Amino acid sequence: MGLKIWLDDKLVDQADAKVSVFDHGLLYGDGVFEGIRVYGGKIFEHAAHLRRLYDSAKVIRLTVPMDLPAMQAAVEQTAAANQISDGYIRLIITRGVGDLGINPFVCKKASVIIIADAIQLYPEALYEKGLKVVSASTVRNHPMAIPPQVKSLNYLNNILAKIESVDAGAEEAILFNHEGYVAEAAGDNVFIVKNGILYAPPIQAGSLDGVTRRVVIELARREGIEVIEQNLTRFDLYTADEFFMTGTAAEVIGVVQIDGRVIGDGHPGPITRTLRQQFFAYARSR
């Protein structure tokens, strides 16, 4: 039995969930999206995800064809129709049907797609063991080219970095910006711990303003852990006491090796483990 997919203004069977080959989301990656988790039947940080979606759309001058309350209801209806208790929602707004030119304003109406399904990014063993990552030669998009806060359908920058990690036999790749500072991983935000202090690259360095990132920073402060957002270098990553990543799908996962350098004692550290436990409890209590 297939999924029920929200397409434009209603739920349809998975087999009938189709978009035009002239949709500019397909032709040019012109659109925005969100990945949202569901825990215990509750949509996690729903309002924060929708606010980011509408902000991203505004930046690229994409008119979302539903107001925010209607979008929230559509997401909830899609999750319920697929009986998603613990899973993942992909919410997509494409520019809509146009022609073969790049002018977005020939697209008369944006298209809304909502997919709700199960997800598991990393096997449980890797949360205990930790990840190996590599530095990507692919540079993070310049902020004056594409603002990093826009979660757009054009993910080639991240995909090229991901290819590098796959080629290297690693689970993730770390992107650096045009100035040589840490931006983010191909699919996640980056944190390190040094001398008991939690450090994160600032959003301005080229990282997505991750919803999970925000929650983890708040949870760390509740635990009495000092959090500093500042530019980080490759040296900082190599010499960190702990290193972990956050993301909607990944949640909180430790990194134990980068470019062949072992982090700490080669196991996810105590602050990493604490924040993973705190996030797990927070997400499932909402």
Dist CA 160 CA 30 (whole Å): 18
Return the CA Rg of the chain: 19
Q: Which of the following is catalytic: 4, 42, 108, 151? A: 151
DSSP of 152-193: BS--HHHHHHHHHHHHTT-SEEEEE-TTS-EEEESSSEEEEE
Residue partners of 143: CB distance under 8 A and separation at least 6:
177, 204, 206
Distances (CA, A) of 283 to 219, 251, 252: 11, 10, 11
Q: β-pairing, 197-200 with 227-229?
A: parallel
Q: β-pairing, 182-185 with 172-176?
A: antiparallel
State the number of CA atoms in the 13 A half-sphere of 275 facing the CB: 34
Dist CA 274 CA 207 (whole Å): 24
Q: Which residues share a beta bridge with 186?
A: none
Residue partners of 13: CB distance under 8 A and separation at least 6:
2, 4, 5
Dist CA 36 CA 42 (whole Å): 11
Dist CA 211 CA 8 (whole Å): 25
DSSP of 188-204: SEEEEEETTEEEE--GG
Please provide the size of the chain in residues: 286
Give catalytic status of residue 10 as yes or no.
Answer: no
Q: Could you list the active site residues?
A: 151
